[in-house]
């Protein structure tokens, strides 16, 4: 066997060539199934705080046992960077062979692959839990991930309208409206408040980094599906824990992690659920071991925190596509 | 501030340009001092086992608080690789800014930087613990690290003779002899057994991956210094624990790690030392907080397991030199 050359692919090439599409969704689904079947090794996240710069470097990885490649993701968040004229977030993924341990690829994606693998998980949640026929999608937040979530959702459900609520300044909200109209060819409305947003929506996606719950249990109505993807840390929360009392079906990406970092943390702490065996992992629903939505009246919630298998699956797909398309440089 | 380009440097450029020398030793010393003074953040090692290939991927990092760069090392050991005609070990280091979190360098060193930072630690142990005047150095093992250890030692002590003992086949032992003669211009002798080796030596370095103790307490004599660098895992051991009863001074790189992965693990388990406060970390000796060798009669042992600050220091040095010399390619 000859040593494989190392393929280095930059952010622009990845953004131009690795789309958020059905192929990606399918790969991420495979990762979730492997995770729920115990066929993935996911070590604890390595976190290196750099407090003097309000920064942190996080390292995630996952080995999916049936795959011949795996990813190691190194992601940085340094919140004084904007003062230096640089983005807060940066990052890259290494692609290693699970046959030889050797480095095959360096994906200088600067977080792009994380954005699309996160959005793909949102699409998967809607695919299994949202009603088949929907008209309006609500989204809390008007940032980059809010847009990717809407694009991902459009891959699994048709809808005619987006209702958005956000605390961002008017020009950022307008940019979201213009961007979504153009990309998805749907009506885009800015809601006055959260209650109005939920009242108008069949599916709601929460994408904010809120550290204080804002989603009220009174807003919940028959047939609603909520995908929560904002909370991914112990101090984050978007939904009041009581919202979960109204749910007929509760799902998450990885139970052990969602009850620690996701919305389910507050639910657990408040004692709203004591027996978590009824909470299903999305991988169990994809594989058919557990059910998704059973009727149009059910209220469903899926709590996503982001798992290493998503990184491994998106990195493997990106590396393979880049290699086949002749992108990047080989060393 | 503009985004820094990413410098990618390959193995050959690193081997040709980043020497094992006094500059490296000085940088590694700074890392050890920071570690012992609590000025370094060293997260637990991330280990991803790949049992079906007898493999493992290990990820190490350390943030030295006074440095504006840090390293993340991804090292693989896949022990079926030789059957595929590939080396078992591979690896690379990423160099990140501790100011912005951004990637500045990718050092495709394939383990070379680990070899020289490990050897530099051996030189530092001898610098502070070996007698000033020595004649013969003994080394257990005839592999790559055994050679680097001898080269490193020659940077801090003059000696005329190397005595080596190894279980390797004759041609590998002869290659060690020829190589050391040429590189260090010293006499090189293959010992018949371990007892003979130690009897002839002022300093002994153990470099084997042995999982069974072989170094007998009877071999220890006045004035001997032993650097143990083979054991870096819970199941490895080179010295019988009783050897430590004969030591006047016991040192290590990181007490919490050496008592878990190094020779000190067996010492602790056997109850030979109960109060570890007399065991000094090498950083404390470098900074002068604790003493090194006090007389030519003392028996000294230094137990090295390898720590993330060494990786950060060698990667920072290599990146800076590579950048200044115009090596590699910028992306």
Give the separation between CA B131 and CA A318, rounded to whole angstroms. 56
Task: Identify whether residues B167 and B254 lie together within a single domain.
Answer: yes
Whether A148 and A280 map to the same domain: the answer is yes
Question: Which chain A residue has the Cα nearest residue B4?
Answer: A86
Rounded to whole angstroms, the Cα distance separating A176 from A183 reads: 10
DSSP secondary structure of A48-89: EEEGGGTEEEEEEEEEETT-SEEEEEEEEEETTGGGGTS-SE
What does pLDDT average to over chain B?
A: 96
What CATH number does residue A49 fall under? 3.30.1780.10
pLDDT > 90? residue A231: no
Total number of domains constituting chain A = 2
A73 inside domain: yes
Same domain as A228, residue A143: yes
Question: What is the pTM (predicted TM-score) of this model?
Answer: 0.90
Contact B100 A90 (CB under 8 A): yes
Q: How does pLDDT run across A192-226, given as a tens digit for each residue?
A: 999 999 999 999 999 998 999 999 999 999 999 99
Q: Which residues contact B160 (CB under 8 A, 6 or more apart)?
A: B135, B136, B186, B187
Per the domain annotation, does A151 fall within a domain?
yes
Name the B residues in 86-125 with CB < 8 Å from any A CB.
Answer: 86, 90, 92, 94, 96, 98-103, 106, 108
Contact A53 B100 (CB under 8 A): yes
**What is the rounded CA–CA span in Å between residue A187 and residue A191?**
13
Residue A233 has pLDDT above 90, yes or no: no
CB contact under 8 A, B61 and A59: yes
Q: Is the residue at B228 inside a domain?
A: yes
Rounded-to-integer distance, Cα A149 and Cα A206, Å: 10
pLDDT for residue A124: 98
d(CA B222, CA A150): 75
Listed in order, strand segments (DSSP E) in B54-147 are 55-64, 69-78, 89-97, 103-107, 136-140
Query: Does B103 share its domain with B155?
Result: no
Based on the fold, state whether residues B136 and B243 are members of the same structural domain: yes
Closest listed residue to residue A191, CA positions, set A228, A243, A139, A145: A139
Residues from chain B contacting residue A93 (CB–CB below 8 Å): none
In a domain, A119, yes or no: no
Which pLDDT score, from 0 to 100, does residue B232 have? 86
pLDDT value of position B3: 81
Q: Is residue B1 part of a domain?
A: no
Q: Characterize the bridge pairing of strands A249-252 and A280-281.
A: parallel
Reported as a single tens digit per residue, the pLDDT across B297-328 is 999 999 999 999 999 999 999 999 999 999 99
In this structure, are B105 and B170 located in the same domain?
no
A204 and A318 share one domain: no
Residue A69: band (very low, low, confident or very high) from pLDDT cuts 50, 70, 90: very high
Q: B129 near B101, Cβ under 8 Å?
A: no
d(CA A31, CA A29): 5
pLDDT number for residue A27: 98
Contact flag B103-A90 (C-beta cutoff 8 Å) = yes
Considering the domain architecture, whether residues A147 and A203 belong to the same structural domain is answered as yes
First to last CA, chain B: 17
Contact A149, A211 (CB under 8 A): no
Range of the domain at B175: 122-307
The answer to whether residue B2 sits within a structural domain is: no
Asked if residue B73 and residue B37 are part of one domain, the reply reads: yes
In the predicted model, what is the mean pLDDT of residues B36-41? 96
Instruction: Give the pLDDT of residue B233.
Output: 84
B-chain CB neighbours of A73 within 8 Å are none
Residue B107's nearest CA partner among B77, B57, B70 is B70
Give chain A's mean pLDDT: 96
- Dist. CA B32–CA B34, nearest whole Å: 5
Residue A122 has what pLDDT? 98
Tokens standing for residue B277:
């406060």
* Active site (catalytic) residues of B: 73
Q: Is B55 part of a structural domain of the chain? A: yes
What is the CATH number for A297? 3.40.50.720
In this complex, the residue of B74, B84, B329 whose CB is nearest that of residue A72 is B74
Mean pLDDT in residue range A138-161: 97
Residue A223 inside a domain? The answer is yes
* Residue A176 CB partners (closer than 8 Å, separation 6+): A142, A146, A147, A164, A166, A168, A188
User: If pLDDT is split at 50, 70 and 90, which confidence band does A2 have?
Assistant: confident
Facing A76 at nearest CB: one of B43, B101, B106: B101
| B39 interface with A at CB cutoff 8 Å | no
Grade residue B268 by pLDDT with cuts at 50, 70 and 90: very high
Q: Are residues A289 and A147 in the same domain?
A: yes
- CA A273 to chain CA centroid, Å, is 24
Q: How confident is the model at residue B1 (pLDDT cuts 50, 70, 90)?
A: confident
* A210 shares its domain with A184: yes
Query: Which pLDDT does position B18 carry in this prediction?
Result: 97
Domain match, A65 and A144 both:
no
Cα–Cα dist B151/B25, whole Å: 12
- Predicted pLDDT at B179: 97
Contact A41 B47 (CB under 8 A): no
């Amino acid at each position: 066997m000859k040593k494989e050359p190392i393929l280095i692919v930059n952010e622009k090439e990845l953004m131009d060539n690795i789309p958020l599409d059905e192929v990606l969704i399918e790969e991420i689904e495979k990762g979730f199934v492997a995770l729920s079947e115990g066929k993935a090794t996911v070590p604890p996240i390595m976190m290196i705080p750099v407090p003097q710069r309000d920064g942190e470097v996080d390292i995630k990885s996952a080995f999916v046992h049936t795959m011949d490649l795996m990813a190691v993701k190194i992601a940085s968040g340094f919140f004084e960077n904007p003062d230096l004229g640089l983005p807060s977030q940066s990052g890259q993924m290494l692609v290693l062979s699970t046959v030889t341990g050797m480095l095959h690829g360096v994906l200088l994606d600067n977080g792009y692959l994380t954005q699309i693998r996160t959005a793909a998980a949102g699409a998967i949640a809607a695919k299994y839990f949202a009603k088949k026929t929907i008209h309006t999608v609500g989204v809390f937040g008007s940032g980059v991930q809010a847009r990717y979530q809407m694009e991902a959702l459009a891959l699994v459900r048709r809808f005619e309208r987006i209702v958005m609520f956000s605390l961002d300044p008017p020009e950022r909200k307008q940019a979201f409206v213009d961007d979504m109209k153009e990309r998805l060819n749907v009506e885009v409305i800015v809601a006055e408040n959260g209650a109005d947003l939920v009242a108008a929506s069949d599916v709601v996606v929460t994408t904010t980094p809120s550290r204080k719950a804002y989603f009220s249990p009174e807003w919940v109505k028959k047939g609603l599906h909520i995908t929560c993807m904002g909370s991914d840390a112990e101090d984050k929360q978007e939904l009041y824990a009581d919202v979960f009392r109204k749910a007929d079906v509760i799902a998450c990406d990885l139970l052990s992690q969602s009850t620690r970092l996701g919305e389910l943390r507050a639910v657990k702490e408040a004692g709203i659920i004591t027996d978590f065996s009824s909470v299903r992992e999305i991988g169990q629903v994809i594989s058919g071991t557990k059910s998704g939505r059973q009727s149009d009246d059910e209220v469903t919630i899926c709590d996503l925190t982001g798992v290493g298998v998503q990184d491994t699956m998106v990195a493997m797909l990106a590396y393979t596509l880049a290699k086949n398309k002749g992108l990047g440089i080989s060393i």
